[in-house]
Amino acid sequence: MVQDSIRILQAQGYKATKPRKLVFEVLEGIGRPLSPYDIQDILRARGKHLNHVTIYRTLDLLCSLNLAHKVLSSGRFVKCSLAAIEGCHRFMICQQCGAIREFADKQLCQEENDFARNLGFHTEHHFSEFSGLCSQCYSK
Amino acid sequence: MVQDSIRILQAQGYKATKPRKLVFEVLEGIGRPLSPYDIQDILRARGKHLNHVTIYRTLDLLCSLNLAHKVLSSGRFVKCSLAAIEGCHRFMICQQCGAIREFADKQLCQEENDFARNLGFHTEHHFSEFSGLCSQCYSK
DNA sequence: GCCTAAATGCAATATTATTGCAATTAGCTA
DNA sequence: TAGCTAATTGCAATAATATTGCATTTAGGC
Ligand SMILES: [Mn+2]
Ligand SMILES: [Mn+2]
Ligand SMILES: [Zn+2]
Ligand SMILES: [Zn+2]
């Protein structure tokens, strides 16, 4: 819900502004990764006009609060679908249809952290995206 | 060695051109991730002038042959340091000093593939970057 | 040395992202 | 509810990153 996210913003001392609500509504409603300019176009089509700088700033804020994520392999943004689930949030992305699914797994993270630790590296965050075929596309 | 990589290019039917050697020399020599324009600047300082389009095209080629990789979290490029090692190549990147280390681990890949498979996803490639502290920076 | 497919350079253009500053607004307080 | 103020937004300029089509050059085979 947009409402929930807005409450989180406010709880952190950020204002619940109209532009922020609009950007979040788009991310929530569309469900797939969008570039800042995609978001601007979608809003324009709805008769709402936002400066792209505002959109960038809003996305930065949402990402900093883990309410959204930047998908690095495409440079686009999605709403986080895992709410308050701890640990690093990852994506599986179908290279055929573009479907994206977010997941988290503590054990996987732990194994990666341990592996890195053995090499002397202290991990604070994982970026991790799987590319492949979703079940639908695979069965074709 | 630049020589080895050039041989791989040729083995695939690509020409061993001067621009390609120059770009590869820079990646090899500098050792840390560089943007296409960084590479252009470095070459310019050495009295060599390459069009940025050529650099982009060379980097695309090198990446397609896994002789280099794009580090997605920064958008920069590094020479592959794992030569012919199978499986997906990952990075650990120190957020303090920028040191980058490439690694591969079959078991980690297998566990990730299995995990995704359980969710119905058939993985073809992992993209994965760890962010944290290298041993040097950690001990400070 | 010649030939040709492959690669490069160039110019234009598109896309993505950031900055400083003036104008506006959300949320607090009286 | 009106007024206040820090936070936020819009605007304009600019930077950084990336792609395209086409004319020119070049590597590598003959
Ligand atoms: Mn998430
Ligand atoms: Mn590699
Ligand atoms: Zn699919
Ligand atoms: Zn370090």
pLDDT digits over A91-113, tens only? 999 999 999 999 999 999 999 99
Q: In the prediction, which pLDDT does B1 show?
A: 79
pLDDT greater than 90 at residue A35: yes
| Strand D, CB < 7 A, residues 43-62 of B | 52-53, 56, 60
Instruction: Count interface pairs A-B at CB distance under 8 A.
Output: 106
Looking at residues B56-80, what average pLDDT do you find? 97
Q: Which of residues 70-129 of B touch A (CB under 8 A)?
A: 72-73, 92, 94-95, 101, 103, 105, 108, 111-112, 115-116, 119-129
Mention every residue, 6+ apart, whose C-beta is less than 8 A from residue B48.
B22
| Strand D, CB < 7 A, residues 40-99 of A | 49-51, 53-54, 57-58
Q: How far is the CA of B53 from the centre of ligand 1 (A)?
A: 36
Please state whether strand C lies within 7 Å of residue B50 at its CB atom. yes
Asked if A75 contacts B70 with a C-beta cutoff of 8 angstroms, the reply is no
Identity of residue B82: L
Q: Given an 8 Å threshold on Cβ–Cβ distance, is A123 in contact with B112? A: no
Question: Which one of A81, A108, A127, A134 makes the best mutation probe of the B interface by having the most chain B beta carbons within 10 Å?
Answer: A127
Q: In the prediction, which pLDDT does A84 show?
A: 77
pLDDT digits (tens, 9 = 90+) for B28-47: 999 999 999 999 999 999 99
Mind listing the domains of chain B with CATH numbers? 2-79 (1.10.10.10), 89-139 (3.30.1490.190)
Please state whether strand D lies within 7 Å of residue B10 at its CB atom. yes
Instruction: Please state whether the predicted TM-score (pTM) of the whole model is above 0.85.
Output: yes
Of B115, B121, B138, the CB nearest to A132: B121
Contacts of A108 in chain B (CB under 8 A): 111-112, 115
Of A103, A120, A127, the CB nearest to B119: A103
Q: Given an 8 Å threshold on Cβ–Cβ distance, is A121 in contact with B134? A: yes
The C-alpha atoms of residue A44 and residue A14 are separated, in whole angstroms, by: 25
The C-alpha atoms of residue A2 and residue A64 are separated, in whole angstroms, by: 17
Q: In the prediction, which pLDDT does B136 show?
A: 95
* pLDDT band at A117; cut points 50, 70, 90: very high
* pLDDT band at B83; cut points 50, 70, 90: confident
* pLDDT band at A86; cut points 50, 70, 90: confident
Q: In the prediction, which pLDDT does A113 show?
A: 96
- Stretch (H or E) spanning B34: none
Q: In the prediction, which pLDDT does A140 show?
A: 85
Query: Cα dist. A119→A9, B29, B32, B92 in Å?
Result: 38, 24, 19, 10
The C-alpha atoms of residue B90 and residue B81 are separated, in whole angstroms, by: 11
Looking at residues B1-17, what average pLDDT do you find? 94
pLDDT greater than 90 at residue B18: yes
Q: Which two tokens stand for residue A46?
A: 């709805």
3-state secondary structure of B79: strand
Q: Which ligand is nearest to the CA of A66?
A: 1
pLDDT digits (tens, 9 = 90+) for A54-71: 999 999 999 999 999 999
What share of chain B in percent tops pLDDT 90? 94
